[in-house]
Amino acid sequence: MIKGQVNISGQFHGMEEREHYLVRNPANTEEIVASFPKLKREDVKTAIESAKNAFKLWSTKKPVERSQVLYKASQIIESKAEELAILLTKEEGKPIADSMFEIIRTINLLRFYGTLITQEAGRVIPSQDNDTFIFTRREPLGVVGIITPWNFPLSLPAWKIIPALATGNTVVWKPASITPTIGMELVKIFYEAGLPSGVLNYVTGSGNEVGDEIITNEDVDGMSFTGSLEVGKDINKKVGNRKRFTRLQLELGGKNAVVLTKNGNINLAIEQVVRSAFGVTGQACTATSRFIVPEDIAETVLNKLIERTKKLAIGNGLDKGIDMGPLASQEQLDKYLYYVELGKKEGAKLVYGGNRLVNEEFKRGYFVEPTIFDRVSPDMRIAKEEIFAPVISVLKYKTLDEAIEIVNGIEYGLVAGIITNDPKEMKAFMENVKVGVVKINKPTIGLEPWVPYGGVKSSGNDVYKEMGVEAINFYTTIKAVYQGY
Ligand code: NAP
């Protein structure tokens, strides 16, 4: 068992004086991965104070000096990629190849922002006066609070922390309680790479105490949160009640749809939908959870979907050739079982899966079957609410306009996909769906770090995008300078 540590003022502490909680392997809950301290408000206040004190030094480092730390961190991660991937799988449950994907993405993010920060400063704007030189400066916000979920416990925090540090901010980071170990490793790597003390603080414990202190503490200058709509709304209210305006980025849930048209390749659609619906056990914000198919070919498509789903290998993510690991927690399992029952009650037809796996191989973990509901109508709750588990609803349509209406007829707006070979359909879809990311003949899961990402409607407050060059906008403020000469 790993003894978990937090980091405050650049020091790693076991915080023996605090209550500790256990982190279990979701593939085998008898295996305890780590124990971590539940910090109290006063500990988080100390962490915020330390980030505030470290700001002067870090923000005045030259971009190239910050870049060197990021590059060094990328090399350290590369040197222990396999070890980190195994830890991530043990803690979160996803197949090892998916964990490795998170590691590679983190390396790419470090190198992307490590280079970008040496280029992005501000711009020169021609003045209306002959004797005036006008330029803008990008300046860091100060102390940034970062609160993250468990489903991508390494690369998702990385896509917030890296642009924050690159632009000269200092950070207080609260990871999700069920996946703190891989986060601790990331913090260790940053310090090993030469980050000065206090620049990145790591605080574990409950959302209600540790998270709430970050949200309400007036010394925090900006906050980036990814998680559920419910918590996001609560944070939005609390940030609105602070004494001063504070920059807030909210990235929330999704209920992503893929539309297959009669001009699309059915086999391609099946491969991509199966991968995106069940790939990380349906626990990706970009997962496909609605498959919208033409009414007159629906039966053929459904049969192919079931046949392909049957071939998925379910098991411990550390084993070779696994397509789908366990759900991440008891809470996730309960939610899955709740929605399976709800779908049946609502009158949808359960055509595949719907059960927890309980034989000898699976009974110690949160393993479930990939699940397909047919005859789902757009007004059913299983077609509207985020389940965040391997459950897909099949819906039928007659015209593309109707399909687009179904895509848009929910409160979320994160990702939408279309499978078609008709450029006119591609155009109509791309222009009319209300989402932050459109995928054409591509799976809904899978994002590239140099591309802006974020949802609209209830999928996020959409003030700033994450990743890409655009992430720099959230973590910096622009000052305009008029210089007379
Ligand atoms: P969650 O329950 O909202 O928790 C997210 C984070 O917020 C965790 O660190 C949690 O801490 C913390 N938290 C909980 N209550 C809080 C409070 N009152 N104040 C401050 N912080 C609080 O979400 P989750 O179950 O971890 O993650 C799944 C959700 O994340 C899904 O809805 C998914 O769609 C969304 N997600 C969105 C994206 C995106 O980019 N749009 C990406 C990934 C995931 P504890 O763990 O200690 O409770």
DSSP-based helix, strand, coil % in the chain, nearest 5: 40, 25, 40
174-183 average pLDDT score: 98
160 within ligand 1 shell (Cβ under 6 A): no
Confidence at residue 99, expressed as pLDDT on a 0 to 100 scale: 98
Q: In what order do the strands lie in the sheet with 20-25?
A: 2-3, 28-37, 20-25
Q: Ligand 1 centre from 149 Cα, in Å?
A: 4
* 207 C-beta closer than 6 A to ligand 1: yes
Closest CA to 457 of 316, 250, 270: 250
Q: Please give the distance, rounded to the nearest whole angstrom, from the Cα atom of residue 467 to the centre of ligand 1.
A: 19
CB of 461 closer than 6 angstroms to any ligand 1 atom: no
Q: Please give the distance, rounded to the nearest whole angstrom, from the Cα atom of residue 330 to the centre of ligand 1.
A: 16
255 lines ligand 1 (CB under 6 A): no
- What residue owns the CA closest to ligand 1's atom 14? 207
Q: Considering Cα of 442, then 448, then 450, then 455, what sign does the dihedral take?
A: positive
Residue-level pLDDT at 397: 98
What's the confidence (pLDDT) of residue 150?
98
Task: List, for residues 350-392, the tens digit of each pLDDT value.
Answer: 999 999 999 999 999 999 999 999 999 999 999 999 999 999 9
- 8 A C-beta contact, residue 153 and residue 223: no
Q: How far apart are CA 245 and CA 237, in angstroms?
A: 12
pLDDT band at 28 (very low <50, low <70, confident <90, very high): very high
228 in contact with ligand 1, CB cutoff 6 A: yes
Ligand 1 centre from 271 Cα, in Å? 29
Q: Can you tell me the distance from the alpha carbon of 426 to that of 338, in angstroms, rounded to the nearest whole number? A: 36
Tokens of 343: 């779908």
Tokens of 276: 């995106």
- 3-state DSSP call for residue 224? strand
Mean pLDDT of 413-439: 98
Q: What mean pLDDT do residues 46-66 have?
A: 98
The confidence score (pLDDT) of residue 121 equals 81
Is residue 251 within 6 Å of ligand 1 at its C-beta?
Answer: yes
Question: Is the beta carbon of 294 within 6 A of some atom in ligand 1?
Answer: no
**Spatial contact of 438 and 430, defined as CB atoms under 8 Å apart:** yes
DSSP codes, 423-444: HHHHHHHHHH--SSEEEESS-S
Confidence check: pLDDT of 120 > 90:
no
The answer to whether the CB of 149 is under 6 A from ligand 1 is yes
State phi, psi for 216 to the nearest 5 degrees.
-100, -10
Residue 202 reports pLDDT greater than 90: yes
Mean pLDDT of all residues in 297-321 = 97
pTM reported for the whole predicted model: 0.97
| pLDDT tens digits along 40-52 | 999 999 999 999 9
Q: What own/partner pairs with CB < 8 Å and gap ≥ 24 does 185-188 have? A: 185/84, 185/87, 186/106, 186/154, 186/157, 186/158, 186/161, 187/7, 188/12
Q: What percentage of the chain reaches a pLDDT higher than 70?
A: 100
Average pLDDT score, the chain: 97
The one-character DSSP state at 196 is: P
Q: Are 410 and 381 in contact (CB under 8 A)?
A: no
Give residue 415's pLDDT: 98
The residue whose CA has the least distance to atom 22 of ligand 1 is: 207
Q: Which residues are catalytic?
A: 251, 285
Q: How far is the CA of 306 from the centre of ligand 1 (A)?
A: 32
Model confidence at 485, pLDDT cuts 50, 70, 90, reads confident
Cβ contact 366:378 at 8 Å: no
The arithmetic mean of pLDDT across residues 300-318, rounded, is: 98
Mutate-to-test residue for ligand 1 from 152, 285, 289, highest number of ligand atoms within 8 A of CB = 285
pLDDT at 471: 97
Query: Residue 140 contacts by C-beta under 8 Å, 6 or more apart in sequence?
Result: 55, 59, 167, 168, 169, 475, 476, 477
End-to-end CA distance of the chain: 65
pLDDT value of position 272? 97
Q: Which of 6, 19, 147 to mutate to test the pocket of ligand 1 (most atoms within 8 A of CB)?
A: 147
Instruction: Calculate how far, in angstroms, residue 480's C-alpha sits from the geometric centre of ligand 1.
Output: 36
Closest ligand 1 atom to Cα of 285: 34
Q: State the distance from the centre of ligand 1 to the C-alpha of 174, rounded, in angstroms.
A: 11
The tokens for 163 are: 């642009």
Residue 197 has pLDDT above 90, yes or no: yes
Express each pLDDT in 402-424 by its tens digit. 999 999 999 999 999 999 999 99
C-beta of 280 in contact with ligand 1 (< 6 A): no
